[in-house]
Structure 1
Amino acid sequence: MTKNKQNNYQNYAYSIKKYFDKSSNSLCLITKDNIESKYIYNELSFLIKNNLIHIFPENDILPYDHFSIPEDITKQRFQLINNKNKDKHILISSVKNLFEIFPDRYFFKSEKTFSINDELSIDRIIKIVESLNYQKITNVEKINEYSVRGGIIDVFSPIYKSPLRIEIFDDHIESIRLFDIESQLSIKNINQFSISKGNLYSLDNLKVSSFINKWRDYFPDIDERYCSIFQKIKNNKVPEGIEIYFPFFFEKTSTFLDIFNDYNFIKYHDLSDNIKKYDDLIRNRYKDELNDSNRPLIKPSDLFLSYKDILDFTESIKEIDIDKIDHSFESFKQIEEAIEDNNFKDKKIVLMSSIPSEIKKLKEKYKTEAIKIKNTSEIKNDLSIIYGNIVRPINIRDENTLIFHKEYIDKSAYQIDLSNTKSIKKDTLSKLFQSGDLIIHEDYGLGIYEGLEVVEANKKFSEYIKIIYDKNEILYVPLKNINKITNYHKNNNINIKIDSLSSNKWSIKKSRADKRVVDHAAEILDIESRRNNASSPRLKADEDLFLNFEKEFPYSETPDQIESILSIKKDLSLIKPMNRVLCGDVGFGKTEVAMRAAFISVSSNKQVIIITPSTVLCDQHYDSFIKRFENFPVSINKLNRHTSNKNKGHVINDFNAKKIDILIATHIVFNNTINYENTGLLIIDEEHKFGIKQKNFIKNRKSNIHVLYLSATPIPRTMNLVFSGLKDFSFLQTPPTNRINIKSFLKIQTSQLLKEALTREKVRGGQCFIVQNDIDKMAAIEKEINNLLPDFKVSIAHGRLSKKEIRNVMHDFKNGDIDGLICTTIIEMGLDIPNANTMIIINSHNFGLSQLHQLRGRVGRSEKQGYCYFLIPTLEIPKLSRNRLDSIIRHSSLGEGFLIAEEDLELRGGGEMLGDKQSGHIDNIGLSLYLSMLKDAINSQKNNKLSIKKDIEINFYDSAYISEDYLPSPLERLKIYKKLDEVLTLKDLKTLNKNLKDRCGKIPIETKNLIDNKKFYLKVLNTGIKSIKSNKKNTNIEITDAIKDTHFDKLISLAKDKPKIYQINSNNKFIYKYDELNSEVRRKKINKLLDEIF
């Protein structure tokens, strides 16, 4: 067997574990950088039990950065510092952390601990959190926040990974729970809690005073009037990059070494080069930023620990002896040969991979199942196959076990998994209105929402929606009618006038729109009916063959991918043509789902056409499909503007002759020379880039083609059709493992900002996109970058270059030979460069909202933090452009492409989306109401009957509302009212009741009544009951002809058996008489009565 001397593997993890076993104290392992920290973390976590391995994260900012430390990093650091005295463990830190200064270590000390049943009032706990500078908000989502609702206080202390929910009753702690940030619902009960300071920069008067005094002492010659950062802090505002003035906020500071001084510090190699490298970065950054008089800098010696001190310390700490691994290999294939030759003798061998398809191959090769273990002591067999993220080989001598990781040995791409895949749950509620918004009441027209108001009538209280109309006319709308109110999405190009309650103009406008809606619905249904009436070929792949294709997928499918694939498989197996939209944010795995669908079609001897909106995306898909299908007999070709006329003819002829199975093309495919007769599946990628005429070209050409639309930002017409049930819909909302939110910034373009952004990416070994859509100005940007950073390699790519030039530039960029790519929006769709994690968009105000979202999606496609800079030349940009940029910054979380599409619709106006014929009607009655009416019209025409809204009046003449004391936020109350209105089943109502109690505490009587009214409504829905009106002496139940005979017979029987109590009069009212009863008793009796009848 050939040995590679360079692969003389070091047994790092095992050597550290042995040292840890002998140590009486916790260890702090110092590494050269964060990447090495992650490698050794994965290895040690596999060897040592009980989650005793932790990484102290780097701050993820540059020295003298304009940005602040991300909150999740601050939270992790607080937790590690607060828990440092618990069980003996290993803390891993890079040398970068040693340079930082921290508050005095006592800053992190927790306040008093409280337990269940302890005496503690709401007022007292509020005083405690406010003394620690916690911020009061509506919903707690970040550390250092708190909120109060009824007898519940939510607090996010940095000690815990999740925020706390403390329920107080009679000035005692009744329960303590942790709750989920996204759902805001409790997830775990605990017995006690502690609260500590949660924010280094909570600017109380003491800290602001300290900052001002120290600033003036340090910068006596600086005119603070012109320093925006000084003025912000003076006014208790926390600016980005506040960390550069850290010493000004604290009387005493400490270092990483001070905080963890009771740990045994160790290393396993020399760190001097890395220490020197970071010290050089600090000093270079200081020089670069020094000339900004608006942002004077503290000297490096006053903001960082010195190079000499850190070097002296790291040279003094223990460098542990690293055991050597006895075996060394050039490839994983040599390991497999050694296993076959029995060269490992009596050792147990563990073969690992982080790629599911590789695990499957190993399982098949060695005829053994892959196992899941938490610790190496669970390894029993001579040969084991394990999915895992170990990087370097390990020789566990005392367990006689050797571990080899395939991707490390072969030096192929692998992932370091430090996070769990989690589905992103979006609120399905319609966008709620806020005070001052324009809203539409379907009966009264356009008005201004003024908020919620409690109104008293006969000593009974209810909450109403207050709307202002023309001439200050006021309409109070009962919240049971909240479904009649929708947002008015204002087209920015028109002037609007609110309606009058004393005029019939609104009814005229609505009547005209209603006539157009009926015609519009018929047009939509006509196109779809042709597809529904057509019969398509049943497409079904051989299960064994399809399973083999699935095994080739090099990653784990997300739950949403699996669900989408199953839905598509079912669609393709039916006679009815598939008409499905697959919506998933950029990089969420739509292409793999499309590949599975294509495989099924080809396996059924039917061709596939994939249409892309750009040549770059066409080429990208072609390369991806060729690689994915390389082990299967599938013919794939492409058509785009780079295809020569001669080759274009050959490709079309081959496709028409059924010699090509999958054709990937741009708009060239919309022509009459292509024969669609044998096409079984059409895949349209980024469908919002194509017009209706282009999509209908193929629909009309061959109506029995299965169609799959792929989109990260679905066009609103499609969204509406989805909601109307005319298209099927799959949504990928689970991000790939390790994917994290991209940090997005709106900034004025400066050379210094450009230099800082590019340096940040260069320092961590990454690459950058610089988008400049004006080709004539690209050379100037290239020259500017070369002057700013001579060692930063840049190239240019745009549509005017030849095919060969573009291919060469993209090849160099993919291979990492180029640090930055200056390009137009040709990279907007489909380009996948995992190492490119900074996007700079010049003149971002000139781009559309969905375009900005697509561009941002090109970065953040690995475990690294992605950055996107939306640059503008000045703050004076058009309002519509500003609204777009505000929206893209607001929707920065993973999976929010769907929300961006909705907001894009608002900003652009509905006429553009739904057609010119609809434009005037949409402007008159509002987009939301138009879509609602269109949906009703479509449903009516589909079912051949009018859509009837069932208004059932439930009235017990008592107070029924959500009080401000119980839920202080008007917006949160409105959300509950809206959710209550949208509840369709008693089961869902029970869930809403449970969740409300969890979030706000014991439900007061008036809110119980509100929920109770909904319960009665659901019980009599579709029974023929029109109303239930109950007062102190009788209850009237109004009956319609729709009541079932069996139910009516029960009412008749009650009236006959007990005529003094029950009666039915000539007005179809069932009357229930009783002695004077209060509301609570009446509700119980009516509930029991309804259960007996229905």
Structure 2
Amino acid sequence: MSFPFVCRRGQALPAGGPAAGNSQIFGPGRAGPPVGSFGRLSWNKAKARVKKAVERIAQELLDLYARRSLTKGFAFSPRDQLFKEFEAGFPYEETPDQLRAIEEVLSDMEAEKPMDRLVCGDVGYGKTEVALRAAFKTAMDGKQVAFLVPTTVLAEQHYQTMVRRFDGYPLDVRILSRFKSPKEQKQILADLAAGKVDVVVGTHRLLQKDLQFRDLGLIIVDEEQRFGVTHKERLKTLRTQVDSLTLTATPIPRTLHLSLSGIRDLSTIETPPEERQSIRTYIVRFEEDKIVEAVQRELQRGGQVFFVHNRVHNIEAMAFYLRKILPQARIGVAHGQLPAHELERVMRQFVHRELDLLVCTTIIESGLDIPSANTIIINQADRLGLAQMYQLRGRVGRSRERAYAYLLISGESTLTRDAQKRLKVLMDFSELGAGFKIALHDLQIRGGGNLLGTSQSGHIAAVGYEFYIEMLEQAINGLKGERIEAEWEPEVRIRAAALIPEAYIPATGQRLSVYKRLGSTPDEDRLMEIAGELKDRFGPIPPELDNLLKIISLKIKMKPLGVQRLELLEREMALIFSPQGDWNLDRLIELVRREPRTYQFKGEGKLLVALGEKPDLLEAAGQFLTRLRILID
């Protein structure tokens, strides 16, 4: 439901669409999508612009689907005893969601149509193992695998994991990254072209045109949205030819799953690994004794610590300071500007537990899995984005041990409002599987977003997240040839202010939250509950809010009657019925014949109702709609 607001001359109020609950999650730094001086014109322009964009995205998805449907892929062999032995080598108990995702991926691979599956799951929920089983099946059937990751450090980790998991099987696994010398890279390229390499893991280097596979069968992409436009275009071409598996921690709304059915297949992993504990998160000021206490606690239980300092120019100075206050700790430094051999050496030392504390930039953000590291200290946490902080926090707590995250800030007085919101959300959502909620809050604070590998933050900001998803669903369903029911929302026009006054609820966040709840009110009982709650919390209902509540009540009554618009004038009101609405023409004609002085038709679908002297317009409209409901029923 969207709220109907009207504009009095000289005063701009939301009108009909954006702030009114069409969308529950708004764009960056706003109380809601932007509204022009008289609201509706600006809203309609934004909606038209975004509609074009979502239709283009939907068309791209369907074009890709059509090309895949016409292409005959390779049908991999059914699972045999060797594959079952490989599965048994997994040292953990698979979660139900993980098993389902594995089954869906392998079933896709056994079909002739090229696979294009997206596996969506929170950090540390076992997406990598799903990919490894697909890679094993591909390589054992004589095809090659390309495993594409966004960072060199993550490439190294996935390489080590694959070497460990594929140990004992006749598979050649290589890594192609800047850690390798030009001579080594040249040799790997030659071996790939000759078919000597079964699995290669690397960064965007794998997408360059000089790289040729002898017989590529599967491409695995970790966090596709972190790659550039050129790389995505290359991926798009590859997807129509070979099986494709994408791993992401970015949540895809459930409703969108249905629309994408048959276009891009989705698997979700929502159950956490057994015995995994939530991460205890603290916001503390940068103080020496607190840092020392946090590090010593971790070292005393035999663990390791990440210290994130995202400033390369003075990271060595920070490492010097930490060595001074923690003389017993073995400390290393890692960041993206280090020479490749030096970065590799430091990361290997940390993985092999030759270092106790790693001072690093956000280079560790993506997918790094070091079970012995269970404390992370993030310096100047208020300068990082919400999703980034969540990913960093996910680097710890990947074993049975309780993990701790310390977010260091210089002082509350220096924090921006957005930084305060980000830190609060991270504190509020510390439970397992909170990634979905955090991503939605990130959209609210930042308005950013990559969905299905396409950047859409500007469009989301224009109309709000949920309305954007709704438009995308409609565009996809329309192009699929499915019948789309034309959506319509009741609208009330009255010359009166209808809003929540700032003086009544001063906090913008609280006021927005109430608008959101009112916008999704399903019936009048729930509306009365919310009104009672507001009265208890904030005091007597002011006239403007009372008007708003009455208008929402009218809209709840209007929809089942098929009334699209209600215009309230001084002594009469006009009801305009929707062509898509469920309204009873015969009963309305009977009403007009019986009381012609009170009721009359003005053109098709418009009923005029005469009112008495100086009526309370909203009250009178409510009483009439109730009477009309009884008459029609």
Above 0.5 in TM-score?
A: yes
Distance in 2 of aligned mates of 1:520 and 1:785: 49
Q: CA deviation at 1:950?
A: 8.4
CA 1:980–1:683 in 2, change beyond 3 Å: closer, same or farther?
farther
User: SS where residue 735 of structure 1 aligns?
Assistant: coil
Q: 2:349 aligned with 1:794, yes or no? A: no
Cα offsets for 1:54-107 (capped at 9, x unmatched): xxxxxxxxxxxxxxxxxxxxxxxxxxxxxxxxxxxxxxxxxxxxxxxxxxxxxx
Distance in 2 of aligned mates of 1:472 and 1:978: 26
Letter in 1 for 2:87: E
Q: Which residue of 1 aligns with 2:582?
A: 1027
Kindly indicate whether the alpha-carbon contact (under 8 Å) linking 2:425 and 2:441 is maintained by their aligned counterparts in 1: yes
CA 1:522–1:702 in 2, change beyond 3 Å: closer, same or farther?
closer
Distance in 1 of aligned mates of 2:67 and 2:519: 41
CA 1:648–1:705 in 2, change beyond 3 Å: closer, same or farther?
same
Q: Which residue of 1 aligns with 2:215?
A: 678
2:272 aligned residue (727, 732, 735): 735
Q: CA deviation at 1:804?
A: 4.5
Distance in 2 of aligned mates of 1:1036 and 1:644: 83
Higher percent of residues as helix: 2
Distance in 2 of aligned mates of 1:558 and 1:500: 53
Cα offsets for 1:385-408 (capped at 9, x unmatched): xxxxxxxxxxxxxxxxxxxxxxxx
Q: 2:165 aligned with 1:628, yes or no? A: yes
Q: CA deviation at 1:847?
A: 2.5
Q: Which residue of 1 aligns with 2:474?
A: 936
Shifted more, 860-869 versus 931-940: the winner is 931-940
1:661 aligned residue (198, 201, 221): 198
User: SS where residue 594 of structure 1 aligns?
Assistant: helix
Instruction: Spell out the pairing of 1:254-653 with structure 2 (5 A cutoff).
Output: 441=2, 485-487=22-24, 489-492=26-29, 498-499=35-36, 504-653=41-190
Q: What is the percent sequence identity of the aligned residues?
A: 35
Q: 2:247 aligned with 1:710, yes or no? A: yes
Q: 2:445 aligned with 1:890, yes or no? A: no
Q: Which residue of 2 aligns with 1:872?
A: 409
Kindly indicate whether the alpha-carbon contact (under 8 Å) linking 2:26 and 2:33 is maintained by their aligned counterparts in 1: no
2:387 aligned residue (847, 850, 863): 850
Letter in 1 for 2:478: S
Kindly indicate whether the alpha-carbon contact (under 8 Å) linking 2:101 and 2:267 is maintained by their aligned counterparts in 1: yes
Cα offsets for 1:885-933 (capped at 9, x unmatched): 3333333221122333333333333598799997776554444433322
2:445 aligned residue (883, 907, 910): 907
Letter in 2 for 1:794: I
Instruction: Spell out the pairing of 1:195-214 with structure 2 (5 A cutoff).
Output: none
Distance in 1 of aligned mates of 2:283 and 2:6: 36
Cα offsets for 1:598-644 (capped at 9, x unmatched): 12212322211000111111111111111111122112111000111
User: SS where residue 487 of structure 1 aligns?
Assistant: coil
Kindly indicate whether the alpha-carbon contact (under 8 Å) linking 1:687 and 1:714 is maintained by their aligned counterparts in 2: no
User: SS where residue 23 of structure 2 aligns?
Assistant: strand
Q: CA deviation at 1:578?
A: 1.6
User: May I ask how many residue pairs the two structures share in their alignment?
Assistant: 529
Distance in 1 of aligned mates of 2:93 and 2:193: 36
Cα offsets for 1:577-611 (capped at 9, x unmatched): 22211122221111111111112212322211000
Q: 2:486 aligned with 1:948, yes or no? A: yes
Distance in 2 of aligned mates of 1:816 and 1:860: 17
Q: Which residue of 2 aligns with 1:164?
A: none
Shifted more, 891-900 versus 515-524: the winner is 515-524
Q: CA deviation at 1:512?
A: 4.8
Kindly indicate whether the alpha-carbon contact (under 8 Å) linking 1:936 and 1:947 is maintained by their aligned counterparts in 2: no
| Greater C-alpha Rg | 1
Letter in 1 for 2:442: D
Cα offsets for 1:140-163 (capped at 9, x unmatched): xxxxxxxxxxxxxxxxxxxxxxxx
Distance in 2 of aligned mates of 1:708 and 1:912: 17
CA 1:980–1:604 in 2, change beyond 3 Å: closer, same or farther?
farther
Q: TM-score, normalised by structure 1?
A: 0.43
Letter in 1 for 2:77: K
Cα offsets for 1:331-368 (capped at 9, x unmatched): xxxxxxxxxxxxxxxxxxxxxxxxxxxxxxxxxxxxxx
Distance in 2 of aligned mates of 1:681 and 1:577: 9
Letter in 2 for 1:778: I
Distance in 1 of aligned mates of 2:247 and 2:142: 23
Distance in 1 of aligned mates of 2:39 and 2:326: 68
Q: Which residue of 2 aligns with 1:835?
A: 372
CA 1:1026–1:926 in 2, change beyond 3 Å: closer, same or farther?
closer
Higher percent of residues as strand: 1
CA 1:1036–1:493 in 2, change beyond 3 Å: closer, same or farther?
closer
CA 1:812–1:531 in 2, change beyond 3 Å: closer, same or farther?
same
Task: Using CA pairs under 8 Å that are at least 6 residues apart, name the structure with larger relative contact order, 1 or 2.
Answer: 2
Distance in 2 of aligned mates of 1:577 and 1:820: 45
CA 1:884–1:715 in 2, change beyond 3 Å: closer, same or farther?
farther
CA 1:806–1:715 in 2, change beyond 3 Å: closer, same or farther?
farther
Q: CA deviation at 1:787?
A: 3.0
Q: CA deviation at 1:869?
A: 1.3
Q: Which residue of 2 aligns with 1:997?
A: none
Q: Which residue of 2 aligns with 1:768?
A: 305
Letter in 2 for 1:861: R
Kindly indicate whether the alpha-carbon contact (under 8 Å) linking 1:598 and 1:608 is maintained by their aligned counterparts in 2: yes
Kindly indicate whether the alpha-carbon contact (under 8 Å) linking 2:175 and 2:201 is maintained by their aligned counterparts in 1: yes
Kindly indicate whether the alpha-carbon contact (under 8 Å) linking 1:616 and 1:827 is maintained by their aligned counterparts in 2: yes
Instruction: Spell out the pairing of 1:783-822 with structure 2 (5 A cutoff).
Output: 783-822=320-359
Kindly indicate whether the alpha-carbon contact (under 8 Å) linking 1:793 and 1:820 is maintained by their aligned counterparts in 2: yes
Distance in 1 of aligned mates of 2:356 and 2:399: 17
Shifted more, 825-834 versus 750-759: the winner is 825-834
Letter in 2 for 1:909: G
Cα offsets for 1:7-33 (capped at 9, x unmatched): xxxxxxxxxxxxxxxxxxxxxxxxxxx
Cα offsets for 1:1016-1054 (capped at 9, x unmatched): 99xxxxxx9963779xxx9899xxxxxxxxxxxxxxxxx
Distance in 1 of aligned mates of 2:561 and 2:103: 39
Kindly indicate whether the alpha-carbon contact (under 8 Å) linking 2:138 and 2:145 is maintained by their aligned counterparts in 1: yes
User: SS where residue 485 of structure 1 aligns?
Assistant: coil
Kindly indicate whether the alpha-carbon contact (under 8 Å) linking 2:33 and 2:463 is maintained by their aligned counterparts in 1: no
Letter in 1 for 2:467: L
CA 1:602–1:1035 in 2, change beyond 3 Å: closer, same or farther?
farther
Cα offsets for 1:709-738 (capped at 9, x unmatched): 11223599x996886443222121211122
Distance in 1 of aligned mates of 2:452 and 2:165: 38
Q: TM-score, normalised by structure 2?
A: 0.71
User: SS where residue 729 of structure 1 aligns?
Assistant: strand
Gaps of 5+ in 1: 1-439, 442-464, 953-969, 982-1009, 1018-1023, 1038-1066, 1068-1078, 1087-1094
Q: CA deviation at 1:671?
A: 0.9
Distance in 2 of aligned mates of 1:926 and 1:976: 17
Q: CA deviation at 1:517?
A: 4.2
Distance in 2 of aligned mates of 1:563 and 1:886: 34
Kindly indicate whether the alpha-carbon contact (under 8 Å) linking 2:13 and 2:39 is maintained by their aligned counterparts in 1: no
Q: Which residue of 2 aligns with 1:825?
A: 362
CA 1:484–1:821 in 2, change beyond 3 Å: closer, same or farther?
closer
Distance in 2 of aligned mates of 1:768 and 1:574: 45
Shifted more, 782-791 versus 583-592: the winner is 782-791
- Taking only aligned residues, the RMSD between alpha carbons, in angstroms, comes to 4.5
Instruction: Spell out the pairing of 1:35-74 with structure 2 (5 A cutoff).
Output: none
Distance in 2 of aligned mates of 1:896 and 1:603: 37
User: SS where residue 306 of structure 2 aligns?
Assistant: strand
Letter in 1 for 2:188: V
CA 1:741–1:813 in 2, change beyond 3 Å: closer, same or farther?
same
CA 1:489–1:761 in 2, change beyond 3 Å: closer, same or farther?
same
Distance in 1 of aligned mates of 2:136 and 2:521: 42
Distance in 2 of aligned mates of 1:921 and 1:837: 38
Q: Which residue of 1 aligns with 2:538?
A: none
